Amino acid sequence: MSEHVDVIIVGAGLSGIGAAHHLQQRCPDRSYLILEARQAIGGTWDLFRYPGIRSDSDMHTLGYNFRPWTKAKAIADGPSIKEYIEDTARDGGIDRHIRFGHRVVGMEWSTPDARWTVRVDGPDGETAFTCSFLHMCSGYYDYEKGHTPHFEGQNTFEGRLVHPQFWPDDLDYSGKNVVVIGSGATAVTLVPEMAKTAASVTMLQRSPTYVVSRPGQDALANWLRAKLPSKTAYGVTRWKNVLFGMIFYRMTRRQPEKVKQKLLDGVREHLGPDYDVGTHFTPRYNPWDQRLCLVPDADLFDTIKAGKATVVTDTIDHFTPGGIRLASGQELPADVVVTATGLEVKLLSGIEPIVDGEEKNLGKALQYKGMMFSDIPNLSFTFGYTNASWTLKADLVAMYLCRLLNTMKKRGMRQITPRIGDEAITEEPFVDFSSGYIQRVADRLPKQGNRKPWRLNQNYALDVMALRFGSVDDSLEFSNPVERARVAA
């Protein structure tokens, strides 16, 4: 017989470990397991090993709401974040609930049984677990494949071609010519770090991204931590950063040109009046149409200003044995080319849920409160903010899940299902974001509606009101299916 628990959490990364903590604190009578495909805790922060890997937002909001971030650096390196997640799992005894090497390959819901059967490829082959509620914390991208466009002639290139998602342990780029293709968060992290030992580093971009410098340490946070209890200091800093982010985002929507000029003025201040900011750091879109890139202590700008790295804005014509020929005719010599060209979005680990024998196409579903899907019972997922830290949303979703579980128990109900009902809803894209990794899969992502609770808030304060204090009954059907008669063995 399959092993049964009340809740299965898929993924032992930042979201999954946080969800387990909230479940233990708020639903201590529920049994649970975490199924993790890899052999380690950490998710993104265990997978990515490229030089300089770090957070792209501050740890006072990327950290959990229940565990203060106490290190001096607010923009933290990857190993420190992984350690933070591991410490959370160990201190809470969460690590004892993790089944490593268990990759989920299928999920099927049975209404008569009011349970999910989760098929898993594990160390001993395919097996299955059952649960009353399934919470997906497997992230939003494909761990097995990064986005890598095919470039003409790349097979003739005699150097190393590397994707950051699969950084080779044996890569020595010291004293070599490096080209980093891309302009996003990964590229702006790699360039200053690799420039420390490489002979040259070129960031080759097809189009620019907004890049913002921010101090690597939060001086106010460090001062508060010296004066106040750690939880109090952390809470004050967290809300300070949340509110600042919300105000800034609102300004970008109301006065995009004004904010754009302010961001570009900041780049000019770092790089000087003679640098061609118009070509290399002025995007064609408005701020927050795509995610802004954060660099700590202006490290990218300082590296460029010192002549240790250059930015080239052009398109690739083809690879050559010794580098890359651009559409302009320029050739970039390269011993190492890093394709920091993005991720492949893969919601729910790429699995289509089956409900009572019917496969559910997520591209035809509506998201509910940013954590469930229309007409799919007892299934929740974590998808963080595009304009703020991931964990802000992950914490809220986990706490709301606990509210739902406790309400189900109080009412004696076994099933909850988001239902659209008879009121007309206008469908809109899942997220209002022009980034390539979203647009490439827009047809496969769930939609959002034009009204609550089907509208996706990109606003932490609104989600606090909706998920911590809002109703659990709006468009959510509580039911108690007739239990299937079980035949005794």
- What pLDDT tens digit does each residue of the chain (489 aa) get? 689 999 999 999 999 999 999 999 999 999 999 999 999 999 999 999 999 999 989 999 999 999 999 999 999 999 999 999 999 999 999 999 999 999 999 999 999 999 999 999 999 899 999 999 999 999 989 999 999 899 999 999 999 999 999 999 999 999 999 999 999 999 999 999 999 999 999 999 999 999 999 999 999 999 999 999 999 999 999 999 999 999 999 999 999 999 999 999 999 999 999 999 999 999 999 998 888 999 999 999 999 999 999 999 999 999 999 999 999 999 999 999 999 998 988 989 889 999 999 999 999 999 999 999 999 999 999 999 988 999 999 999 999 999 999 999 999 999 999 999 888 899 998 887 777 778 888 888 899 999 999 998 889 999 999 999 999 999 999 999 887 655 443
pLDDT of residue 488: 43
Predicted local confidence at residue 423, as pLDDT: 81
Q: What is the pLDDT of residue 303?
A: 97
Peptide bond into 481 cis (omega under 30): no
Lookup result for tokens 């590229």: 187
Q: How far apart are CA 201 and CA 221, in angstroms?
A: 34
The 3 state secondary structure assigned to the chain is: CCEEEEEEEECCCHHHHHHHHHHHHHCCCCCEEEEECCCCCCCHHHHCCCCCCECCCCHHHHCCCCCCCCCCECCCEHHHHHHHHHHHHHHCCHHHHEEECCEEEEEEEECCCCEEEEEEEECCEEEEEEEEEEEECCCCEEEEEECCCCCCCHHHCCCEEECHHHCCCCCCCCCCEEEEECCCHHHHHHHHHHCCCCCEEEEEECCCCCEEEECCECHHHHHHHHHCCHHHHHHHHHHHHHHHHHHHHHHHHHCHHHHHHHHHHHHHHHHCCCCCHHHHCCCCCCCCCCCCEEEECCHHHHHHHCCCEEEEECCEEEEECCEEEECCCCEEECCEEEECCCEEECHHHHCCCEECCEECCHHHCEEECCCEECCCCCEEECCCCCCCCHHHHHHHHHHHHHHHHHHHHHHCCCEEEECCCCCCCCEECCCCCCCHHHHCCHHHCCEEECCCCCCCCCCHHHHHHHHHHCCCCCCEEEECCCCCCCCCC
Tokens of 445: 């992502």
Cα-based angle 439, 443, 446 (whole degrees, multiple of 5): 105
Among 93, 21, 98, residue whose Cα is nearest residue 63: 21
CA distances from 105 to 8, 20, 38, 352 (A): 14, 21, 14, 10
CA distance 162 to 180: 9
Q: How far is CA 337 from CA 145, 190, 315, 319, 404, in A?
A: 18, 12, 15, 10, 49
Q: Which pLDDT belongs to residue 487?
A: 43
